[in-house]
Chain A
Amino acid sequence: MRFIDEYRASDLSAYLAEQIARISVTPVRIMEVCGSHTVSIFRNGIRALLPDTITLLSGPGCPVCVTAQGEIDAMIGLSEIDDVIIVTFGDMLRVPGTSCSLMQVRSEGRDVRVVYSCEDALSIADANPDRRVVFLGIGFETTAPLIASTILSAKQAGLKNFSVFSAHKRVPEVLAALMAYKDLAIDGLILPGHVSMVIGKRAYWPLYAEYPRPYVIAGFEPVDILNAILLIVGQIEAKAPRLKNAYPRAVSIAGNKRAQEMMASVFQPSDANWRGLGRLAGSGLKIRRHLEAFDAEKIFQMHVSEQCELEGCDCGKVLLGLKTPPECPLYKKVCTPSYPVGPCMVSSEGTCGAYYRYAEK
Chain B
Amino acid sequence: MCLAIPSKVVRIEDGCGIVDVDGVRRKVNIQLLSDVSVGDYIIVHAGYGLHKIDARTANEALALLRAASSLLNGPHP
**Residues of A with Cβ closer than 8 Å to B?**
1-4, 6-7, 11-12, 15-16, 18-19, 34-36, 62-64, 89, 91, 116-120, 138-140, 142-143, 145-146, 149, 192-195, 197-198, 223, 227, 248-251, 256, 258-259, 262, 347, 349
Contact = CB atoms under 8 A, between A and B. Distances in A.
Contacts of B57: 248-249
Given A3-B58, A149-B32, A197-B51, A89 B46 contact: yes
Q: Which 5 A-B pairs have the closest CB atoms?
A: A117-B47, A249-B58, A15-B69, A142-B2, A3-B6
B6 A116 contact: no
A66 to B, nearest CB: 11
Given A11-B76, A194-B43, A223-B65, A119 B51 contact: no
25 contacts: A1-B6, A2-B41, A4-B5, A6-B62, A11-B69, A11-B73, A34-B2, A35-B1, A36-B3, A116-B46, A117-B47, A119-B47, A142-B45, A142-B50, A146-B48, A193-B2, A194-B2, A248-B54, A248-B58, A248-B61, A249-B54, A258-B31, A258-B34, A259-B50, A349-B1
B6 A2 contact: yes
A146 B31 contact: no
Contacts of B72: 15, 18-19
Contacts of A195: 2
B12 interface: no
Contact of B46 (A15, A64, A146, A262): A146
* Contact-residue bracket for chain B: 35 or more
B53 to A, nearest CB: 5
Given A2-B6, A12-B65, A143-B45, 10 more contacts: A3-B53, A7-B62, A89-B1, A140-B1, A145-B50, A146-B46, A192-B2, A250-B53, A251-B51, A347-B1
Contacts of B22: 1
B45 A194 contact: yes
B73 A143 contact: no
Interface string B1-29: 11111101000000000000110000001
B37 to A, nearest CB: 16
A7 B6 CA distance: 12
A250 B62 CA distance: 13
B2 A4 contact: no
A262 B48 CA distance: 13
B50 A116 contact: no
B46 A143 contact: yes
Given A142-B2, A149-B29, A117 B48 contact: yes
Interface string B50-77: 1101100110011001101100110010
B45 A15 contact: no
B32 A12 contact: no
